[in-house]
Structure 1
Amino acid sequence: MSPRSRLWKGLAVVLVLGVLAGCGGGGSDESPAAGAVDDSAVLRAGWTVGPTSLDPHMATAEVVWFRFGMTSIYDRLFTVNAAGEVEGMLVDSWEYTEDGLQLTMTLREDVTFRDGTPLDASAVKLSLDRARTQQSPVVKARMAAVTAVEVPAPYEVRLTLDGPTPAVPYILAENSGFILHPDLVTSGDPATETNGSGAYSVESFTPGESLVLVRDRTDYWDPEAAKIARIEHRAVPDFQAFSNALAAGQIDIGQFQPNNVASIEGRRGLQAVPVPQGISSDLLFNRAVAPMDDLRVRQAINLAIDREAITQALYPGSEPKYQYYREGLQGHDPSLGPIGRDVERAKALLAEAGHPNGVDLGEMLVSTATTAGLLDVVLEQLAEVGIRADAVTVDALQIFPRWAEGRSAALLQFSSTGLEPGAGASTSWGPQLNPAGTTPEFDRILAAAADNRLSQEERNAGYQELNRFLREQAWSSPITWINYPWVMTERLQGFSAEMDYATTLGPYDFRYLSMQADS
């Protein structure tokens, strides 16, 4: 099933449920017919989590930082379309050497920072060297493949790589690829101030709470972008308050959880767009601690989880997750069938592992952003096969360093496969996010697949092998692929499930949105 087919599947479920009944025609995967653009419009975006720093290289969670307005402040070297394919943004063209160990990027020559300073190769080198050398929660590790940055010509950047990986352009489509003004890098404080080549600057920022952006230049290089005069991003952690704010017209757009979108049913002037993303709910395992170091225990947990029941009850319109890459994206293996719930087999596996009377997992971390009700259902289903855990709820941003400490047995959290399968696997299963680290077999499979000298078909076959390995070794218990309903004012134009990043990270770049003028 293609991303478009999945979109219509999710939409059909939403309509059957009557979500947004009476909202001017209900949900659609296309924006309304374009009308006159209000170039003085204000767009108010609501999110459940807000970043605590403005520094793109110090993000603790790339998705959180990426979506909270930063794509309006900084331009990036690459972008990724809805099909998961990388495209140039600041980069006009790029080429690998025959041995795959160097990547040469030719930049656009019409981009400037707002003070007129050219965004040239020297500015790019300064930002990339900062990203790959500064100690940071995520970005430095993501840039580990880059061992040197050179400037052969004023608008040409050459990267030397530690191996022939295809992931670098995808990595540079995320936080690593945002280019900061040289003055900000050398003498500023990127955590509290911004200076980029984007069309917007920061009017105000309250860490973890709000970010207000204003369009303050008329010479922006992309004439199709930046049609909104002011963008106000606001964190609303409570789902009910989030729903109330959108229903009351206090925010104009928000990504809903599938099970709470019905709270704005019947509200006129709103539209809904379901977006199938590479985001899921998962129970992650720390294989470095007992009893999670026993494959049979991990398999028993997988057999205890009823994915169909959870998806139907808590994620209406979404899809149960049985493997590590979503259908329609690289790495998906159609030969991998469902993981059915089997209570008796789960109990037998626990007995084989030396736990005939059940087992205590120990501490299970739970993100505050986790879908309401998921923890209770998971604990109940585990208990039915004799598996117990001590759930500890942790802030959605602080949970990542807490998990990396390696003291907890499991983590109930949202997961992302990333923009590119190899890069996503390195991040998800590497030591930064996975306390147990990788294994020689994992490393071998990943290295063989993530090679820029291979064809896309050959790389896909390698990622499918990695997918099968992760499932056979039960490195986690996948639960649900989420089809997120986005709800927004009918005045908003340009939003669809075909936007950049839509089926991977999510359609978080608002650069081509606009607001329709009042008639």
Structure 2
Amino acid sequence: MSWSRTGKVSAVVVVAAVLTACGGVAEPSSGAAATDESAVLKAGWSVAPTNLDPVMATSETVWFRFGMTAIYDRLFTVDAAGEAKGMLVEEYGYSDDGLQLTMGLREDVSFRDGRALDAEVVKVNLDRARTVQSPVVKERMEAVTAVDVTGPFEVRLTLATPTPSMPYILAECAGFMVHPDLIANGDPATETNGSGAYSVESFIPGESLVLVRDRTDYWDPEAAKVARIEHHAIPDFQAFSNAVAAGQIDIGQFQPNNVASIEGRRGLKTVPVPMGTSVDLMFNRAVAPMDHLEVRQAINFALDRDAITQALYPGSEPKSQYYRDGLSGHDPEGAPVTRDVARARELLAEAGFPNGLDIGEVLISAAVTGGLAEVVQEQLAEAGIRMTPVNVDPLQIFSRWAEGRNTAHLNFSASGTEPGAGAATMWGPRRNPAGTTPEFDRILAAAADNRVSQEQRDAGYRELNRFLRDEVWSAPIAWINYPWVMTERLEGFSAEMDYATTLGPFDFRYLSMTAED
């Protein structure tokens, strides 16, 4: 077995005077602004989770970004280049047959009561993640058939298939470590007990989460540089903008078409982040008329991606394939899909709909950019394709879509932190009521194999990308370059943060605030 060293951070006990809630101002280096250790960081989001349990997350992205990285440490993280790195894991390696993953843990991590975060704790958490019925996590842990403690700080996973995705899966909700006492005797949905530097002061489901830094012995001395973090859900874009402009919010992810009114204001700065997030019209191929390839092709030709991107996602990129440039799976030879209404009508006629067709109710996530559904509806109508938009709560839309009664849904999608894991989630039964096909399964299995080289995996994911394009499992619309607007006092935010180009730069553990003038 070969081990991958992940870059150990030496254990340092942070001086109490620096990390106490009353805090203070740290001495700056020459030419640098002073860091305010007593600062409050206020973050705004369009959607908030309704529970605090990582295993029961309805949307991993929503749960992950809403303060949970400050409460719970996780086994792995993913850097901006899309590579898995250890967090609680120091070294790891696969067996020669690819069916065992052995992880060596840090030995300097503990909970507030002094209990070590050791191999037994990891086993309790991973067994729960893979067995408890949950919206997302159990499905993502299906490859794990057993979790064994092989040493005080060593854990071995037995896998059903030789997948390379486990470090990436364990860098998300499945890899967050909860105190075993909370699992056994408490309610992780409403209570928290993690090894992170922050605990919960208050939580209003779907609305707000307030965290306070309450320990001086956190293992990572570079993290937890603010005394308090407040997360607020502000679903209305105008109210969101007003809150940032008024200083009620220190940082927020804006929609590209919603940032112009605030960009450049005094005291604020904007950082663009090209993420592996897009907006797509997803198809249910199991129901008519989406069971016709020609209909799916016609919808793709009916959409004007350039116009939509320019109008609603300025600064972003039209999307014509399933992996973004710069990430594994991107096909540099893949030609863009350009609008051709005449060709769309020809394809409808070939499918037996010479006079056009009605695809019925299309689910629209209430979180997508305002006006997008109307533009899509108008462009499809010009090709003879009618639809009835139905707005649905952004956290409820996945379960409703999985019922399989609708022909399509318009929503954000993500290629995932790892292409194989992302494909399994995106096209699995929860996100794709039509299910997969033997050919899709064959291509994915060949690519998502930890026994082959990274170059071979990249080639396999490109093949999967081409298959999805040829079979038209969705109508991709735009890759989103999100503008993040924040106070000039905020330090440490960039497009090089962990997860930035995949899941998104949602881990705020290394952000800091400079002292006010």
TM-score, normalisation: structure 1: 0.93
Deviation at 1:265, TM superposition (A): 3.6
| Over 6 Å off, 4+ runs | none
User: What are the superposed Cα offsets for residues 56-86 of structure 1, whole Å, 9 maximum, x if unpaired?
Assistant: 0001110000000000000000000000000
Whether the aligned pair in 2 keeps the contact of 1:279 and 1:416 (CA below 8 Å) is yes
Deviation at 1:518, TM superposition (A): 2.0
Corresponding residue SS for 1:345: helix
Structure 2 residue 183 is matched with structure 1 residue 165: no
Q: 1:34 to 1:406 in 2, by over 3 A?
A: farther
Structure 2 residue 445 is matched with structure 1 residue 447: yes
Which position in structure 2 is the counterpart of 1:243?
241
Whether the aligned pair in 1 keeps the contact of 2:251 and 2:485 (CA below 8 Å) is yes
Structure 2 residue 270 is matched with structure 1 residue 272: yes
Whether the aligned pair in 2 keeps the contact of 1:215 and 1:228 (CA below 8 Å) is yes
Aligned counterparts, 1:219-298, within 5 A:
219-298=217-296
Task: Decide which of 463, 467, 479 is 1:469's aligned counterpart.
Answer: 467
Whether the aligned pair in 2 keeps the contact of 1:34 and 1:493 (CA below 8 Å) is no
Corresponding residue SS for 1:185: helix
Aligned counterparts, 1:20-169, within 5 A:
34-169=32-167
Gaps of 5+ in 2: 1-30
Whether the aligned pair in 2 keeps the contact of 1:305 and 1:381 (CA below 8 Å) is yes
Which position in structure 1 is the counterpart of 2:3?
none
Deviation at 1:114, TM superposition (A): 1.1
Deviation at 1:35, TM superposition (A): 1.7
Q: 1:40 to 1:240 in 2, by over 3 A?
A: same
Corresponding residue SS for 1:322: coil
User: What are the superposed Cα offsets for residues 10-65 of structure 1, whole Å, 9 maximum, x if unpaired?
Assistant: xxxxxxxxxxxxxxxxxxxxxxx842110000000000000000000001110000
Task: Decide which of 396, 406, 415 is 1:408's aligned counterpart.
Answer: 406
* Cα distance in structure 2, aligned partners of 1:462 and 1:506: 24
* Cα distance in structure 2, aligned partners of 1:429 and 1:440: 13
> Which letter does structure 2 place at the counterpart of 1:97?
S
Deviation at 1:263, TM superposition (A): 2.0
Which position in structure 2 is the counterpart of 1:489?
487
Q: 1:212 to 1:347 in 2, by over 3 A?
A: same
Corresponding residue SS for 2:65: helix
> Which letter does structure 2 place at the counterpart of 1:137?
P
* Cα distance in structure 2, aligned partners of 1:451 and 1:115: 40
Which position in structure 1 is the counterpart of 2:312?
314
Deviation at 1:204, TM superposition (A): 0.2
Corresponding residue SS for 1:313: helix
TM-score, normalisation: structure 2: 0.94
Whether the aligned pair in 1 keeps the contact of 2:146 and 2:158 (CA below 8 Å) is yes
* Cα distance in structure 2, aligned partners of 1:59 and 1:484: 23
> Which letter does structure 2 place at the counterpart of 1:75?
D
User: What are the superposed Cα offsets for residues 79-119 of structure 1, whole Å, 9 maximum, x if unpaired?
Assistant: 00000000000000000000000000000000001111000
> Which letter does structure 2 place at the counterpart of 1:107?
L
Which position in structure 1 is the counterpart of 2:372?
374
Corresponding residue SS for 2:261: helix
User: What are the superposed Cα offsets for residues 353-391 of structure 1, whole Å, 9 maximum, x if unpaired?
Assistant: 000000111110000101111111100100000001111
Which position in structure 2 is the counterpart of 1:186?
184
> Which letter does structure 2 place at the counterpart of 1:437?
G
> Which letter does structure 1 place at the counterpart of 2:370?
A
Which position in structure 1 is the counterpart of 2:16?
none
Whether the aligned pair in 1 keeps the contact of 2:263 and 2:485 (CA below 8 Å) is no
User: What are the superposed Cα offsets for residues 166-221 of structure 1, whole Å, 9 maximum, x if unpaired?
Assistant: 00000000000000001011111000000000000000000000000000000000
Corresponding residue SS for 1:380: helix
Whether the aligned pair in 1 keeps the contact of 2:59 and 2:136 (CA below 8 Å) is yes
Deviation at 1:433, TM superposition (A): 1.1
Structure 2 residue 210 is matched with structure 1 residue 212: yes
User: What are the superposed Cα offsets for residues 391-413 of structure 1, whole Å, 9 maximum, x if unpaired?
Assistant: 10000101110111111110100
Which position in structure 2 is the counterpart of 1:424?
422
* Cα distance in structure 1, aligned partners of 2:271 and 2:242: 18
> Which letter does structure 2 place at the counterpart of 1:497?
A
> Which letter does structure 1 place at the counterpart of 2:335?
G
Whether the aligned pair in 1 keeps the contact of 2:198 and 2:213 (CA below 8 Å) is yes
Whether the aligned pair in 2 keeps the contact of 1:181 and 1:196 (CA below 8 Å) is yes
* Cα distance in structure 1, aligned partners of 2:229 and 2:38: 11
> Which letter does structure 1 place at the counterpart of 2:337?
I
* Cα distance in structure 2, aligned partners of 1:50 and 1:467: 32
> Which letter does structure 2 place at the counterpart of 1:274?
P
* Cα distance in structure 1, aligned partners of 2:221 and 2:469: 46
Deviation at 1:266, TM superposition (A): 4.4
Whether the aligned pair in 2 keeps the contact of 1:34 and 1:516 (CA below 8 Å) is no
- Residue identity over aligned pairs, in percent, reads 76
Which position in structure 1 is the counterpart of 2:21?
none
* Cα distance in structure 1, aligned partners of 2:122 and 2:247: 40
* Cα distance in structure 2, aligned partners of 1:487 and 1:114: 34
Whether the aligned pair in 2 keeps the contact of 1:201 and 1:213 (CA below 8 Å) is yes
Which position in structure 2 is the counterpart of 1:344?
342
Q: 1:37 to 1:457 in 2, by over 3 A?
A: same
> Which letter does structure 2 place at the counterpart of 1:306?
D
Corresponding pairs, count? 487
Corresponding residue SS for 2:123: helix
Which position in structure 1 is the counterpart of 2:12?
none
* Cα distance in structure 2, aligned partners of 1:115 and 1:489: 36
User: What are the superposed Cα offsets for residues 227-280 of structure 1, whole Å, 9 maximum, x if unpaired?
Assistant: 010000000000010001001111000000000001214421000000000000
* Cα distance in structure 1, aligned partners of 2:438 and 2:308: 34
* Cα distance in structure 1, aligned partners of 2:356 and 2:227: 59
Task: Decide which of 485, 498, 502 is 1:504's aligned counterpart.
Answer: 502
> Which letter does structure 2 place at the counterpart of 1:230?
R
Q: Which has the higher contact order (CA 8 A, sep 6+)?
A: 1
Whether the aligned pair in 2 keeps the contact of 1:100 and 1:452 (CA below 8 Å) is yes
Whether the aligned pair in 1 keeps the contact of 2:403 and 2:433 (CA below 8 Å) is yes
Whether the aligned pair in 1 keeps the contact of 2:263 and 2:269 (CA below 8 Å) is no
User: What are the superposed Cα offsets for residues 277-332 of structure 1, whole Å, 9 maximum, x if unpaired?
Assistant: 00001000000110001100000000001000100111010000010000000000
